[in-house]
Structure 1
């Protein structure tokens, strides 16, 4: 079969007897021999042989991409320009196919293609008395291969990972485990490790790296392990542990007397908001924020709702401009960070209000009529109740919507729920080179505006 295009998710797509077949690690123009399985109206395949390689193919520079089938990247085998073209067409196709919105091929802002990630998240899996830390193959999410390097991560993160890995390999300090009712602690089978590079401060050559270990409910060696890791690498600025909240709550319920409600403290470590609300690509994130800021300015707004506001970086900027802001953020750490930003603005910050709640629950009780609603939802998109609120006749005073999306499919679905709004502009941002992911900002106006 011949591969025609790249689909959302990064698979190449071709047709066999009219059936669309999705084949990972292929390029438009490839002629390939595949084995495939039919699923309802499409097929899923794997390459047996590349008969005629596409001129868009390049040799992947990462050792893990082909040797281990690393699932962290989907498009390393494509030239950078071909990757960007694929991401633009993924957005355009999703809007047309799902959202029934025909738009010209959107512009794509792009920057460095390698070493751009300021965060690296790994899976640690126990093998007997030792651990392996790395990523999952694209075709087997149950397996973990040992990560030696990562070409899309900042080199400082890879260097710190090597230091942490050596500490884990020594095996003289236990990692987090699960506390039994008897008081014994048994090892966990799987943990998560997050590395985050902080921005470079004045006078420093590089930023410090935060290390967050996630999982388990008990860790007797926490302090000793933290000391050992920080001693192993001067680049490590902080080490935190985030226990498994679900397991903690379950254990608390089991131990709670039947006549009281179990309570569990929030184990979010200091600085967790930095991991949760910072973009992995600072260069492109800056360009995206500037575009959103300019898009809101077009509406000459007096009151902005900043939905899914995170740590409130844009909200604070609008407040400084004299615009009233209602920032809605469900995560307590993000909401508190936003509130702190507002307080730091003094009198200007008093025009801001932070609501720590789900967007769909908070938006119906907002005081004052907003001029612009900014939406920056997670990958699942906005709740249907948010779209219904924006469609309601009571909200005719809303002049514009600025929707920041990390998933073209959910963006298109949500636009289909907003028939009274037209696309006034759309811009794509290449936040994740070597992958199929793309960020988009869609500016909407009322159809009759």
Structure 2
């Protein structure tokens, strides 16, 4: 993949840009295997490749420039806007929507936030594209004072972008490196975007985490479901469950599944999906995964964990080590933190693993492993 922004030196986010994709994938696969070699004589499946470009279903775009000439992209070292609306890793449907969003910013007179001057209305636009080519558009603004302006001109935006299913205003008043605030104002009748990924159409609400690569996410859900079905547990926990992608895809008759997630919005999304799919044996809890495990009166036959980059941490790793849970599926976006966690869980060995290239053109990757408890 070639990128004019990278070649011009205005954006270096994709650190592997220009490296042949086959080499990227082979290097990531070898890196994960090397880092995890000490944790079992694993059977490694072939890595899952991604499309080289147009794979990102979500764009987090900083708004810079001026009201009459807004930039959509990133900020340079001086806090000035750099326009990246033709970013090649973003899905075509997102790229096609950005000019209409820029025009809406001008028409609505939403002043881009100036970091050096600490003034302005609009900080970010967050755009998510579903497999049905529908959009969720979230305007991150400093104050609710501008929400009425967005609402008043919303019909113009939806006329320009008929696929805009969900539009919201997120309130983030603070001058710090936090993308979004706690308060979300939904401006459309629909408050969730349907993501048809895997066996169950997931419902994605604002502030809910979802994998950024739809095709590879589907492969990840399918792989984990295959591993779980091979183990055939009667009970499963999905910790750090997000909108329930793993929990809902491993649901089966007679199998009790509980998903746990700190984000209440994500739990609302997961519950709505389970209800629509008629899966009463799948339940979701809002709360801390470690606290849930520690306080439980019994343990399941299999635990799925899909933590953020920092990993599950010492407390949950120690709990799993002492729990007696026979099998664990660990999906990680950081093999280094995965290795660190596995070092605290010596009773588990990797039975099989797979690298899934969720983030082409970057050094990041997803790796999933099936862990089995060894005999004492």
CA distance in 2 between partners of 1:135 and 1:142 (Å):
9
Aligned to 2:245: 313
Aligned to 2:166: 238
Q: Shift of the alpha carbon at 1:298?
A: 2.3
Q: What residue ranges of structure 2 are gaps of 5+ in the alignment?
A: 176-180, 194-203
Q: What residue ranges of structure 1 are gaps of 5+ in the alignment?
A: 1-59, 179-185, 201-206, 248-263
Aligned to 1:371: 301
Change (3 A) 1:209 1:338: closer
Aligned to 2:184: 267
Change (3 A) 1:424 1:172: closer
Aligned to 1:286: 218
2:91 to 135, 140, 154: 154
How many pairs are equivalent? 351
Whether the 8 Å CA contact 2:61–2:74 is kept in 1: the answer is: yes
Could you list the per-position Cα deviations for residues 384-442 of structure 1 after superposition, in whole angstroms to 9, with x for gaps in the alignment? 211111011xx22x111100011111111111121221111110111121221111101
Aligned to 2:349: 422
CA distance in 2 between partners of 1:141 and 1:372 (Å):
50
Whether the 8 Å CA contact 1:307–1:329 is kept in 2: the answer is: yes
CA distance in 2 between partners of 1:446 and 1:172 (Å):
58
Change (3 A) 1:266 1:361: farther
Q: Does 1:65 align with 2:2?
A: no
SS at 1:84 equivalent: helix
Aligned to 2:197: none
CA distance in 1 between partners of 2:338 and 2:78 (Å):
26
Question: TM-score normalized by structure 1?
Answer: 0.70
CA distance in 2 between partners of 1:102 and 1:432 (Å):
27
Q: Shift of the alpha carbon at 1:76?
A: 1.7
Aligned to 1:336: 268
Aligned to 1:124: 63
Whether the 8 Å CA contact 1:71–1:135 is kept in 2: the answer is: no
Aligned to 1:43: none
Aligned alpha-carbon RMSD (Å): 3.0
Q: Shift of the alpha carbon at 1:166?
A: 2.8
| More displaced stretch, 426-435 vs 311-320 | 311-320
Change (3 A) 1:112 1:141: farther
Could you list the per-position Cα deviations for residues 89-127 of structure 1 after superposition, in whole angstroms to 9, with x for gaps in the alignment? 33234335xx77786876311132222222211111355
CA distance in 2 between partners of 1:426 and 1:231 (Å):
47
Q: Shift of the alpha carbon at 1:83?
A: 1.0
Aligned to 2:143: 217
CA distance in 1 between partners of 2:67 and 2:98 (Å):
21
CA distance in 2 between partners of 1:71 and 1:318 (Å):
38
CA distance in 2 between partners of 1:241 and 1:199 (Å):
23
**Which one scores higher on RCO, CA 8 angstroms, separation ≥ 6?**
2
CA distance in 2 between partners of 1:265 and 1:277 (Å):
14
- Which of these two proteins has the greater Rg computed from alpha carbons? 1
Whether the 8 Å CA contact 2:108–2:149 is kept in 1: the answer is: no
Change (3 A) 1:384 1:142: farther
Q: Shift of the alpha carbon at 1:370?
A: 0.5
Q: Does 1:173 align with 2:112?
A: no
Q: Does 1:79 align with 2:20?
A: yes
Question: TM-score normalized by structure 2?
Answer: 0.83
Q: Does 1:406 align with 2:338?
A: no
